[in-house]
Structures are given as C-alpha cells and as structure tokens.
Amino acid sequence: DAKTTQPTSMDCAEGRAANLPCNHSTISGNEYVYWYRQIHSQGPQYIIHGLKNNETNEMASLIITEDRKSSTLILPHATLRDTAVYYCIVRYAIMYSGGGADGLTFGKGTHLIIQP
C-alpha cells in the first residue's frame, strides 16, 4: 500500500471548516483513499473514501487532486466532538487484492483539536 504523509496536529475553531491534508504521491491507479478517525478511548471510525472523484457524505467531504497525489478531508462545521486523530489510508480495492480484504496500514495521523 502507498505511504501517506499528514501533519502531526492541527487546530480549528468550533463552527469553522476543518481542512485536513494528506499526501500520497506514490498512490497507484487501483488504490483508494480512505479516511478514519479515532476519538480518544474509542476504536477507529470510518469517515469516507474515494478513488478519483470528490466524495461527500453526512460526515465530511473528500477532495482528491486530479493527479491523485494528495487529498483533503473537509469537516464543514467542526464541533468539539470532532476532536480526534484522523488517519488517511491508501489501499487497493478488494478486486485487486487477491479477492480478500487486507488489514489497514495506519500512519501516525493528524491530531485535530477543535477549539471552543
């Protein structure tokens, strides 16, 4: 799986949009970009994923650059409950991984702190 690079930590004011960057310059054409977050003392939680098109769901938006070498997770209206470590993970689609799911390779992530 391709390696990802994220800032160690970020601050964001409550109510503002939180924009979390991720670099994945060695991503291959068959690899998806996934985002998870881990709130303190909890297991990781899936947020969103995408291949090349921008994606949006009820939690966040994912913007992937045209060359797919970087992406940005956007939390449109951050709340205090969004304080967590956010992980950007690149992985193959199941059809390209021999038919079975692989475990996730977690980097260090970004510790997002939402300030009141």
| Binding interface with other proteins (CB under 8 A) | 34, 36, 41-46, 49, 87, 94, 100-109
Closest approach, Cβ 13 to other proteins, in A, equals: 26
Nearer to other proteins, 69 or 111 (CB): 111
Nearer to other proteins among residue 34 and residue 75 (C-beta): 34
> Is there a contact between 107 and 89 (Cβ–Cβ < 8 Å)?
yes
CB of 105 to other proteins, least distance (A): 7
DSSP secondary structure letter of residue 27: -
Closer to other proteins by Cβ: residue 100 or 116: 100
Cβ 87 to other proteins, closest distance in Å?
7
Tell me the CA distances in angstroms from 75 to 82, 99, 109, one per residue in order: 8, 33, 16
Q: Compute CA 68 distance to the chain's CA centroid, rounded to the nearest angstrom.
A: 13
* Shortest spacing between CB 54 and other proteins, in angstroms: 17
For 51-99, strand residue ranges (E) read: 55-56, 61-64, 70-75, 84-92
